[in-house]
Amino acid sequence: MAATQKLYPRGTVKRIVKAHSNRSVSKNADILVRSFVRDYRSAPNAWLMREASIRSRKSGEKNISANAVRKVTEKTLRKFQG
């Protein structure tokens, strides 16, 4: 708990969403967004990292490379398109 408490600070999340959507964010929506990001299944990071690690493993690299991440990004973002 203590290690993950500072995930995606609330104000930053709210500011990001507000800036991109040009709409005001209601009181608790940012909390939901934050919890959404933390969520294991729906977190893009989780998907991204999983896919990237699979890809890098396939290509024989030990660590996750930037190329793998970049190539996986498109697929992951498509998956998380609302």
Partner 1 sequence: MSTPNPRNRKSLRDAGSATPSGLQRLPSHTLYPLTPRRLATTATPSRSVSRFTPRGRPAIAPSTPYGRNARQQRAANTPGRDRRRSGRIQRETTFDILKNLGRALAPTTQPIHSSPEEETKPPPKPRDEIEELDEESEIEAPELTLPIQEVEGSEEGSTARSPPRLSLPFDDDDITVEYPRRDISIRDQERLSIMSRNFGRPSDVFQDNQSDSDADEGDETGIVEDDGGEDTMISGGDFDRGGETADLGRFNLVMDFPSPGAMPVEDDMGDNLDETDGFELDAGDIQPVPASPSADENADAAGDFGFNFPPAPSSSVNSGIAGGGLRDDGPNPQSKEKKISRHGIPVPNLPKGIVKKLALRFSGTKAGSKAKINKAALEAIEQASAWYFEQASQDLAAYSKHAGRKTIDESDVATLMRRLVARPRSRRFELLC
Work out how close the CB of 43 gets to partner 1 at its nearest, in angstroms, rounded to a whole number.
7
Cα–Cα distance between 52 and 38 in angstroms, integer? 18
3-state secondary structure (DSSP) of residue 7: coil
Work out how close the CB of 30 gets to partner 1 at its nearest, in angstroms, rounded to a whole number.
9
Work out how close the CB of 60 gets to partner 1 at its nearest, in angstroms, rounded to a whole number.
15
Cα–Cα distance between 66 and 34 in angstroms, integer? 25
Cα–Cα distance between 82 and 70 in angstroms, integer? 21
Q: Please report, in angstroms and rounded to a whole number, the separation of the first and last CA atoms in the chain.
A: 29
Give the binding site for partner 1 (CB under 8 A): 1, 3-4, 6-9, 12-13, 15-29, 32-33, 35-36, 38-50, 52-53, 63-66, 68-70, 73-74, 76-82
